[in-house]
Amino acid sequence: MNAATHFRTIDISTMQPAVLAPQPAPQMLWVELEQLVIDDRYQRPINDGNRRAIKRIASGFRWSRFSPVIVAPIEGGRYALIDGQHRAHAAALCGIKSIPAMVALVAPEEQAQAFIDINTRQIRVGSEQVYRAALTANEPWAIACRNAVEAAGCRLMTSKYSTAAKKPGQVFCVDLIRRMVEAGKADAVTIGLKSMLEYDPSATANFSNAMLVPWLGAVAETGANAVQLVASLNARRPWLVIETADRLAKAEGKPLAVTRRGFFVAAIHQVQRESEA
């Protein structure tokens, strides 16, 4: 058998050609680590999980596994690191002074967009980090999500926090908020969060994903007003609603998320009927 038969060339004969947008060609350079900076407006912070990942890369560092980082030139002869933060830190741990980089000539807003594209199309990062980068890039969906949450007196978070570090009013369910806003349910997001904050402004757990996913879904489904929503929360403590729903879901083999939302819908409808009587 010919050893070369397992190789194939780049073949696009069956594909539709793509139109390349006008753009400057990047350069390939070896960049000194001291020249690299990280833009905290969209890049991930280095937490314990990131440090563990960096140490893993450093412990098995091989140039054959090192892909060039992507950077953009900024003032002062420095380069903003768009992609490759972990690799750059790992190289520094190994005592390496410079690393290969693709230098892209892009503005800060496009740097954030490049971060989003790279980390959503190739490797998965947290939705909070994508949201933070989208804010930097002034993407409409991110601005709309931020506005809907802030109108409730809350904050849509741009990075993950430990349970102990979380505070009331901090919202981490970025994917849920985005889906609701893009579905035209921004008002439900605002009124649902505002009602929860009014019900108990000191309860951090009430703003967890486990609570907000079924609660905001029920708010959108019922179309209840703020008075009715707060009344339903006061009538039956929200975590008691979830506990009851979970018991039924387990006993009857029903989907947990659907059952939780259904119980909140029922609680809100009860208050609506009483207010209309």
Task: Tell whether 147 and 92 lie within a shared domain.
Answer: no
- The reply to whether 188 falls in a domain is yes
Token pair for residue 49? Answer: 């999980």
Instruction: Confirm if 130 and 117 have CB atoms less than 8 A apart.
Output: no
Reported pTM: 0.65
- Under the banding of pLDDT at 50, 70 and 90, the label for residue 1 is very low
In this structure, the strands spanning 78-83 and 36-37 are: parallel
Task: Mean pLDDT check: name the lowest of 19-23, 28-32, 77-81.
Answer: 19-23
H-type alpha helices, the chain: 48-59, 85-93, 108-121, 127-136, 140-150, 174-182, 186-199, 209-222, 226-235, 238-252, 256-276
- The reply to whether 65 falls in a domain is yes
Task: Tell whether 247 and 150 lie within a shared domain.
Answer: yes
Task: Tell whether 101 and 156 lie within a shared domain.
Answer: no
- The reply to whether 73 falls in a domain is yes
Task: Tell whether 72 and 161 lie within a shared domain.
Answer: no
**Over residues 243-262, mean pLDDT:** 94
Task: Tell whether 218 and 143 lie within a shared domain.
Answer: yes
Task: Tell whether 51 and 146 lie within a shared domain.
Answer: no
The separation between CA 18 and the C-alpha centre of its own chain, rounded to angstroms, equals 30
Instruction: Confirm if 44 and 159 have CB atoms less than 8 A apart.
Output: yes
Amino acid, res. 89: H
Task: Tell whether 78 and 168 lie within a shared domain.
Answer: no
- Positive/negative CA dihedral, 224, 225, 231, 237: positive
Instruction: Confirm if 74 and 80 have CB atoms less than 8 A apart.
Output: yes
Domain coverage including residue 68: 27-108
Task: Tell whether 163 and 263 lie within a shared domain.
Answer: yes
Residues pairing with 32 in the sheet: 98
Cα separation, 245 vs 258, in Å, equals 9
- 176-192: per-residue pLDDT in tens? 999 999 999 999 999 99
Task: Tell whether 152 and 262 lie within a shared domain.
Answer: yes
- The reply to whether 20 falls in a domain is no
Backbone angles phi, psi at 7, to 5 degrees: -95, 150
Task: Tell whether 71 and 164 lie within a shared domain.
Answer: no
Structural domains in the chain (count):
2
- The reply to whether 186 falls in a domain is yes
- The reply to whether 151 falls in a domain is yes
- The reply to whether 134 falls in a domain is no
